[in-house]
Structure 1
Amino acid sequence: MIAACSVLAAIPLFSPAADVEITVDVANPSVELSPHLYGLFFEDINFAADGGLYAELIQNRSFEYHGVNGNDPAGRDMHPLFAWEKVERDGARCLLEVSSDSPIHANNPHHAVLRISKPGSAGIRNLGFDGIRLDDGARYDFSLYARVSDWQGPARLDVVIEDANGKVAGTAKVEGIGEGWAKFDTEIFSRLTSDVGRLIVSTPGQGTLHLDMVSLFPQDTWKARKGGLRKDLVETLQNLNPKFMRFPGGCIAHGQGLENAYSWKDTVGDVAERKPNWNLWGYHQTYGLGYFEYFLLCEDLGMAPLPVVPVGVSCGFRPPQQAVPMEEMDGCVQDALDLIEFANGPVDSEWGAVRAGMGHPEPFGLEFICIGNEPHDNELFRERFPLFVKAVREAHPDLKIIGTSGLGWQIPIYDLMAEQEVYSADEHYYESPEWFLGNVARFDSFDRSKPKIFIGEYASKGSSMFNAVAEAAYLTGVERNADIVDMTCYAPLFGHAHHSQWNPDMIYFDKRTVVRSANYHVQQMFSQHKGDVFLPNTVRRARHHAVATVAGSVGFGSWRTSVEVEDLKVNGVAVDPSLWRSRGGQFLGEGSRWSQTDVAFEGALRLSNERYAGKTVAYTLRARKTGGDEGFLIAFGGNNHDDTYWWNLGGWNNSLHAIEQIHSSGNRQLDQKPGVIESGRWYDLKIELGPGNIRCFLDQELVHDVHLDPPPVCLSSTLDRRTGEVILKLVNPTDDPMEASITLEGVGRVDPAATLFSLSGDRSAINTIFHPDRVRIEESDLEVGSEFDHTLPAMSVQFIRIKRQGASPESTAGG
C-alpha cells in the first residue's frame, strides 16, 4: 500500500491506456523553493575526517592517541604509539618511548623520543590508516618537528616511503636538527604504486632524538592546498550542488560527557597547536580538519555554513547525562558569540584576528547558527537553550537561529522552538522506507505560523534502490511544502568502507574508490534540478480497480498514560475485552469498563482475538485519560501487536491526533491533525472502515478521512526561472511499470525535445566498492508536448526538463 503522493482533483480525460493521469498547472506557481533547500551534514563518524576527507596520510602524527570509550572500532587498543613501530637497521640499537617533557605546545603535550645507544639507521615507521596510499609519479609534502640532545654524528634525518615488502618508493633528507624544536619541510617523489605503503624517519646519528607532528600529504589535494582535503571526496560533494553544510555534528557536538564536548576554539590556529580530542564514535580527531577548514570548504563550494553549537549538556543518549551548572553557563554562551566573531568579525577583533592570521581577513559571511543537536526533552536543555537565543539575538539580530526539535519525527521539542521563535527547527529521524512512503504528505498539515523545518538528519535505513526511491518520494512532499521546509540534508555523509560505525551512509570510500550510493544519486538529482517555484499538480489513478476494506482485530491502549474505556462495540454489537490479548501495561476490567493503569508504559495495547471483516466495519467506544502525558490509542485492522493500525489521540506530548500504521519495520503516518486530550473527560469515539477508506470521529466530529488507494506515482513539479524550463520529478515506488498521461496546463507550446534523467535499477540493488555503478543516473532525450504519454519503469526516479517555446528566462509563469 502506497500513501497519497499528490492532491486529487478533477482533471481532463486522458489516454485509455494510462495507469495514472497527471496535470501540472504551469500558469499558477505556488510556493517558492528555498535557495538552500538541499545541502550537506558532516560529522566525523566512520573515519570521515582523519583517514577520510582530511588528506593526512600519517595516523597518530602527534602521538596523542590513548585508550578511549570503546577503543578503536576495529577492536584495537589505542595508545600513544598506535600505528608506529621502532626501526633498527644497519646495526642500530634504540629505545622508543613517548614523553611529555618540553612539548611543542601545551595543547600538544606528547612527542616521540628515540634514545639511540648504537648508531646505524635508527628511527620510527608509521603504518598510516591501514597502509599509506602511494602513486607512481605523485609528489608528497613531508614535514615534522624535531630536536636532539646529547647528540653525536650527523644531525640528519633520512625520510623514506616504501611498500609493505620494503621496496623503496621515494626518499628525502632533513638536515640541521638542533637542540630546540624546529619545523622541517621537504618533498618526496614516489616511483611506485601501493595501498600498503609505510613512512620511515631514521637517523645515522647517536643520542636522543625528539620527534612530533610527523606529516605526509599528497600534493594533489583539493585546490592544491598544503595540508588540505582529499580531492576526489570534495569533488563528490561538489557534484551534489550543495547550498549549505551543517557541521561538525551530530552527537559529537555535545560529546560523551562535558569534557569530551566539541570545542571549536581547539580546532583553529596552527595545526601543531590545536588540541586533539577523541570522539564518542570510538576514535581520535587531530582537528587538522577544524572550523577554519569547514568555513573554507563552504566558501569553496558556495555553501552557507551552519555551525552547531553545544548548549552545555552532554549527549543524552550516552548516560549519565551531564550539564554545565547554570551559574557557569556564561562561558558556554560566550563561546557561541566568539564563534560568530571568528566567522564575521573585523580583523581588529580578538577572534577576527585569529581568522585573519590563518590567511582569511575577509569575513566568511555567516548567516545561520545552529543551537543544540537532538537533545533529550528535559529541564537541563529547556533551561539552557533560551540563554543562547537571547544572547545571539541581542548581539547579532540579523543572524538566523536554527533550533532543534529533538530526535524523532514526532519532534518532541518543537514547542520550545515555537516559544523561542527561532527561524527554523532541526528534526532528525532514521526510519524504514515504508515510513517515508507513508509520510509523503506529512508536511501538508503543518502549522505555518510556527518555525520553519530543517530536516537536518534523515535516512531510510538502507542503501538499496528501494531506499532511494522511498526518499525521493518523500522529497516530492518536501518540495510541495517548501514554504515551511527550508533545508534538508541526508545523514551520515561519509562512511569508510572498512571502518564504519553507522550504516547506511551516502558516500562510501576506501583509499582509491568513491562509491556514490543510490541515495546519493537521489540527492544529486533533486539538488541539481531543484527549480525556483513549485507548480501545482494533480495525480490520480486512471483505471478503476476494487479496493478492500481494512480487516482485522480491534483494541485500545495508551502511550505514557493511564486510560479508561467502556461500551466497546463493533457494528453495534458489544464485545467482551476480557477475552482479548495484551502487550504490556496493566489492564483491569470491571463490567463493561476497562482500565490501563501503567502510566509509564509506551504502547500498551489490548487486541481482540476475533478478526472483523466486511464491506464496512464501524467501531465505537467511550474513553478518557486518567493520568500521564499523552492521550489514548484506538487500534483496528490488526494482525498482531506489531502489525496493526491505531488512532493515536493526544500523541506527541498531547499535541496531535494521527492515524498510524504500525509495523515491525517502522510506523507510517497516514494523517495527522492538531489535537489535545483533556484529563478526566469522557470522549465518544467512532472509526468507520469502508472500501479503501478510514473515517474517525471524535464526539461526532469528523477528524480524519483517509483514502487508502492513492495514486501509485509521486510527483513534484517546479519551474526553473533562469532557463524557463518546467521540471517534472516522477517517482514510481511500485514493482510495476506505470503508464502516465501528462498534461501541462497554461504552458502554450513546448520544445518537443526534452531531457530525461533516469535512476532505475533492481529493487534490492546496492552500489559497493566492487560494484559502484549498479544504480546510476542516465541522461537521454525524450519527445514531449503540452500533452504526452510516458512510461515510468518499476521502482524508478525520473526527472524531465521541458523547455517552453517563447518563454523568456526569469519568467515566473506559463503564458
Structure 2
Amino acid sequence: MNRHLSIFFLILFAAAGFSYADSVNISINCDEKKAEISDHLYGIFFEDINFAADGGLYAELVQNRSFEYHTVPGRNPLRDKYHPLYAWKKIERNGSKCRLTSEREIPLNRNNHHYLTVHIDEAGEAGVMNTGYDGIPLDRGAKYDFSVYARREGRISKLNIALETQDGKVCGNAAVQGLQANWKKFETTIQSRITTDNARLVVTAENTGKLHLDMVSLFPQDTFKGRKNGLRKDLAQALADLEPKFMRFPGGCISHGHSLENAYRWPDTVGDTASRRGNWNLWGYHQTYGLGFFEYFQFCEDIGAEPLPVVPVGVSCGFRPPYECAPMDELDEWIDEALNLIEFANGDTNTEWGSLRAEMGHPESFEMEYICLGNEEHDRPELHERFPHFVKAIREEYPDIKIIGTSGLGTEIPLYPLMDKLNVYSSDEHYYMAPEWYLNNDTRFDDFDRSKPLIFVGEYASQGNTHYNAVAEAAFLTGVERNADIVDMTCYAPLFAHKNHTQWRAADLIWFDKREVVKTPNYYVQQMFSKNAGDYYLGNEVEVAKDREPETVSGGVGIGTWNTKIEAAEAKVNGRKLDLSRFEESSGDFDFSAGRLSQKDGTARPAISFSPKDFSGEKITYSVRARKTAGDEGFLIVFGAEDSDTYYWWNIGGWGNSQHAIEKTVNGRKSVLTQKNGSIKPNRWYEMKVELIPGRIRCYLDNKLIHDYSLEKKTLFASATLDENAGEVVVKLVNSSDKPADARIKLNNVRTAAKRAEVKLIAGERDAENTFENPERIKPETMKIRAGREFEYNAPAMSVQFIKIKVD
C-alpha cells in the first residue's frame, strides 16, 4: 500500500566522531610561491545585531535618547515593549508632582519628531531618569559629557543633572541654566565619585511649568582614540587587536531591511547626530544611527582597515515576506545613493557630499576602494533585472572603484554566474554550517575556475563558540590560504553579542556586557590568521600515516520528504522487502515520526518514517522506489539511523529541487557531507539505492552513480606561508583529532633555518568555551621549540599551532 508523506524545512547542524593520525610528514618547498596572499585576506564584519551598536560598540550611555522608540513591526518578541518613553521614568521629590508625555507639535527637526514633555504641576524637584542599557556603568574619577536640547514654558530656567545609584546615592552632579522658549543645546561635564555598574541619569527642575527635552546624551570621555561621539574603548580595542585589513559594514540583512521602508539608507546616518533619522532594524530593536557611516569610515582609518560599505540594491530581505522591489522607474534613487556614498568617502570638498564630510571634521578623502552591492540576495528575476544597473552606473562614474557582488546565500552560490557575467571584482558568499562541514570543505576552492570573479567569504561561522568550532574554522582557513589566488577576502560573522540581548546565539566572535569582554576561541583563531597571513602560500606536501580500520555505517533506515509529497512503492535492505503497509502509523517495518505544517504560524517541522530495525554487515544495500506527486523538493532516503535525532540521509532534489547531497545529523544538528547539482521530475518513478561498504557511501539514482563519499575523516590540516619582510616561514598546523599527532617538518630549498622557532598554540578540551565566569579558558600561548631545516613537533589533540621559523 502506498502512503503519502510531507516534510517541511528544518535547520539542523551536526557533530561527528573522530579518528586520529599517529604521525604526519610535512614537506615545505620554501622557494615555491604557489599563490600570492591578498593584502586584505582577513577582515571583520560589523552588523548591528545582538545590540552590537547602541548599547554596545557605540559608547552612548542613554537609551532612547531622542524618544523615537516605537512598536516594531512584525512578529519579533521585542516588538510590543517599545514606546517613546521606553527606558524613562518620572521623578517626584520634595513634594513635587509631574507627568510625562511624548509630543511632536514643535519638533527639534524634521528627522527627530518626538520629544519629552515634563508637566510639572507642583514645585519641588521633578523630572525624569534614564536607566540606560540595563543600568549605567560608572568609574570613580572618570568624566562624562552630558548634553541635552531643551526649551521651557513657565518659570523653569535651570536643570539639575545627577548620576545616581539605584538607592539614590549621588555619584556626581552638575547644572545648566538659561532655558528659553526655543530649543537650545546645553552641555556640561560630570565626574563620578564612585564606581558602580547600575547607575541612572536624573534630570530635574525645581519650578512649575512645562519642560521639553530631546537628544539627552551621556558619553564617557574615555572613548576609543578619545573621539567625541565615539566608541566604547574595550570593544573597539578588541577589534583593533585582530589587526583586520578591512571592515565590512553596516551589516548584512539590515542593509536591505525587512522592507524597503526600513532599508539601511546611509544618508540618514551622517551629519549632526541630532538630525539623523533613526530606524528600527529587522532584528527587532531600534538604531539611533549615532554610529553612522562617518564613524565607520573613521574607525576603519583609526585601525588601518580598508572600508567595505554595503549598500542595498532596491530589493528587500528575501527571508522576510513580503518580498519588495523598488519600481524600475524609481531605481535611480537607489543607484544615486550608491554613487553619492562614493562621493562622500572620496569626493573633493567642493562637492555636495565631500563638503559634508569636511564639515564633519574630515576634509581628506577616506580613500575608499571597494563597494559591496547587496547582501545574500535571492536568485530572483527582480534582482537580475536591477543589479546590472548599479554596476553600470558605478563603472561609468567611478571606474576605479572595485565592485563586490553577491553570490546569494549558501554553499551553492546561486548568483555567482550573474556576478561572472557582470565581471565584478569579487563575489560575496555566506554560509553558516556545522563544524564538520568546515573540516570536510578545506578543499572547497581547489577547483574553482580562476577566470571567474574573485571570492569574498563575507560571512561564515561554524555554529558554536566551543574550542572544536574554532579548530574546524582554522582547518577551513588553511584551505583558504591554499587558494589565496582566488579567495581575496574573508570575515567571520556575527562580530558581537550582548550577553543580555541576543537574537543570534549560535556563534558570535565577541561576547560582552556592560563591563566585560569575552573573546571566544573563534576570536583567537581569527587573530592568529590575521596577524600571520604572510605574503605567499608555499607549496607543501602532507603525508599522514593512520592506524585504524575503515569506518562502517549501520543502523536503521527510513523515508521522508521535504516540503513535498511522495508515493513510496517499494523499499528493500539487501534484497529483503520492508513492509510499507502501514507507513504512517508506527507499525510494520517503519515508525512514523510526524511533522506537520502548523497552520497557526507556518513553522516548518520534519516528518520521516524510520525503520525500528538496525541493519549491519560488511555491505548494506538500501533501495527505494518512489515518485514525487506534489511540492517543491524531492526525496530523503534515510540510513545509518541510531534514533530520530542521529542519522544520515541522501537528500535528492533538495534546495528547491536544485541539489543532491549526503547529509549527517547528530543529536538534531545537521551537516552537509557532499553535494552536487541535480533535480528530479514530478510523477515519475525513481529507483534510489544507497550502498554502505567499509569506508564509503555510494548513492545511485536510476543506476547512475551520483555520490561516492569516503568516510575517512581528515584530521590534520596544514598551510605554509612566507613573510618576506620578517624572513619567516610560518607553518600552520591544525589537529582536529582527540589524539596528539607527531609531525616531522622539513623545509626544502633554504640555505639556513633557525635552530629555534616560536610557536603560537591554542589547545584544549573539545567542548571548552570561554565564558564570563572563565573568560580565558581557551587562549593562545607562546613557546619556543627546537627547529632547523628538519625537526619534529608534537601537535596536541584538538589544537591550532603556528610555527614561525626564521629562514635564509
TM range (shorter): 0.7 to 0.9
Matches of 2:739 and 2:702, distance apart in 1: 42
- 2:238 match: 236
The answer on 1:526 being equivalent to 2:497 is: no
- 1:81 match: 85
Matches of 1:627 and 1:33, distance apart in 2: 49
- 2:376 match: 374
- 2:104 match: 100
Range moving further from structure 2, 755-764 or 322-331: 322-331
How big is the shift at 1:36? 1.2
1:38 to 28, 37, 42: 42
Range moving further from structure 2, 665-674 or 176-185: 665-674
Deviations 1:520-571 (A, max 9, x none): 111111111111211222323324432244456778888789999999998x
2:195 to 188, 193, 196: 193
Matches of 1:395 and 1:5, distance apart in 2: 56
- 1:218-297 matched pairs, under 5 angstroms: 218-297=220-299
- 1:175 match: 177
How big is the shift at 1:680? 11
- 1:358-507 matched pairs, under 5 angstroms: 358-503=360-505, 504-507=507-510
Letter paired with 1:407: L
How big is the shift at 1:440? 2.3
2:764 to 761, 785, 789: 761
Matches of 1:441 and 1:666, distance apart in 2: 23
Conserved? CA contact 2:437–2:673, under 8 Å:
no
How big is the shift at 1:576? 4.5
Matches of 1:545 and 1:636, distance apart in 2: 23
Matches of 2:283 and 2:59, distance apart in 1: 20
Judged with a 3 Å threshold, the aligned counterparts in structure 2 of structure 1 residues 4 and 478 are, in CA distance, closer, same or farther, namely farther
Conserved? CA contact 1:108–1:272, under 8 Å:
yes
Matches of 2:665 and 2:582, distance apart in 1: 17
Deviations 1:715-737 (A, max 9, x none): 12111121121111111112122
Per the normalisation by structure 2, the TM-score is 0.87
The answer on 1:751 being equivalent to 2:754 is: yes
Matches of 1:602 and 1:397, distance apart in 2: 49
User: Unaligned stretches of 5+ in structure 2?
Assistant: 1-14, 586-603
Matches of 1:471 and 1:608, distance apart in 2: 36
Range moving further from structure 2, 703-712 or 368-377: 703-712
How big is the shift at 1:418? 2.6
Matches of 1:680 and 1:770, distance apart in 2: 58
Conserved? CA contact 1:431–1:666, under 8 Å:
no
The answer on 1:119 being equivalent to 2:93 is: no
Matches of 2:276 and 2:711, distance apart in 1: 57
- 1:546 match: 549
2:784 to 758, 781, 785: 781
Letter paired with 1:528: K
The answer on 1:66 being equivalent to 2:77 is: no
Matches of 1:272 and 1:188, distance apart in 2: 21
- 1:206 match: 208
Conserved? CA contact 1:532–1:718, under 8 Å:
yes
- 2:512 match: 509
Range moving further from structure 2, 694-703 or 374-383: 694-703
How big is the shift at 1:367? 1.4
User: Unaligned stretches of 5+ in structure 1?
Assistant: 7-16, 585-600, 808-815
Matches of 2:49 and 2:84, distance apart in 1: 21
Judged with a 3 Å threshold, the aligned counterparts in structure 2 of structure 1 residues 349 and 638 are, in CA distance, closer, same or farther, namely same
- 1:345-364 matched pairs, under 5 angstroms: 345-364=347-366
Conserved? CA contact 2:499–2:512, under 8 Å:
yes
Match of 1:365, SS state, is coil
Match of 2:446, SS state, is helix
- 2:146 match: 142
How big is the shift at 1:150? 3.2
Judged with a 3 Å threshold, the aligned counterparts in structure 2 of structure 1 residues 726 and 657 are, in CA distance, closer, same or farther, namely farther
Letter paired with 1:527: S
- 1:712 match: 715
Matches of 1:258 and 1:441, distance apart in 2: 38
How big is the shift at 1:195? 1.0
Matches of 2:581 and 2:384, distance apart in 1: 41
Conserved? CA contact 2:524–2:779, under 8 Å:
yes
Letter paired with 2:101: E
Matches of 1:698 and 1:115, distance apart in 2: 76
Match of 1:31, SS state, is strand
Judged with a 3 Å threshold, the aligned counterparts in structure 2 of structure 1 residues 515 and 267 are, in CA distance, closer, same or farther, namely same
Conserved? CA contact 1:646–1:660, under 8 Å:
yes
How big is the shift at 1:608? 8.2
- 1:14 match: none
How big is the shift at 1:191? 1.0
- 2:302 match: 300
Match of 1:729, SS state, is strand
Matches of 2:319 and 2:701, distance apart in 1: 37
Conserved? CA contact 1:74–1:499, under 8 Å:
no
Judged with a 3 Å threshold, the aligned counterparts in structure 2 of structure 1 residues 62 and 798 are, in CA distance, closer, same or farther, namely same
Deviations 1:497-536 (A, max 9, x none): 1111211211111111111011111111111111121122
Higher RCO (CA-CA < 8 Å; seq separation 6+):
2
2:23 to 16, 19, 24: 19
Matches of 2:632 and 2:422, distance apart in 1: 22
How big is the shift at 1:776? 0.9
Range moving further from structure 2, 21-30 or 458-467: 21-30
Judged with a 3 Å threshold, the aligned counterparts in structure 2 of structure 1 residues 136 and 675 are, in CA distance, closer, same or farther, namely same
- 2:594 match: none
Deviations 1:29-82 (A, max 9, x none): 211222111111111111111111111111111111112237996787222111
How big is the shift at 1:157? 1.7
Per the normalisation by structure 1, the TM-score is 0.86
- 1:29 match: 33
- Equivalent pairs counted in the alignment come to 775
Percent of pairs with identical residues: 55
How big is the shift at 1:21? 2.4
Conserved? CA contact 2:533–2:721, under 8 Å:
yes
Letter paired with 1:171: N
Judged with a 3 Å threshold, the aligned counterparts in structure 2 of structure 1 residues 770 and 604 are, in CA distance, closer, same or farther, namely closer
Conserved? CA contact 1:306–1:368, under 8 Å:
yes
How big is the shift at 1:193? 0.9
Judged with a 3 Å threshold, the aligned counterparts in structure 2 of structure 1 residues 114 and 613 are, in CA distance, closer, same or farther, namely closer
Match of 1:434, SS state, is helix
Letter paired with 2:488: D
Matches of 2:24 and 2:333, distance apart in 1: 59
Match of 1:443, SS state, is coil
Range moving further from structure 2, 182-191 or 555-564: 555-564
Conserved? CA contact 2:570–2:580, under 8 Å:
no
How big is the shift at 1:343? 1.3
Conserved? CA contact 1:630–1:650, under 8 Å:
yes
Matches of 2:271 and 2:666, distance apart in 1: 51
Matches of 1:42 and 1:151, distance apart in 2: 47
Matches of 1:528 and 1:74, distance apart in 2: 39
Conserved? CA contact 2:627–2:685, under 8 Å:
yes
- 1:812 match: none
Conserved? CA contact 1:558–1:602, under 8 Å:
no
Match of 1:779, SS state, is strand
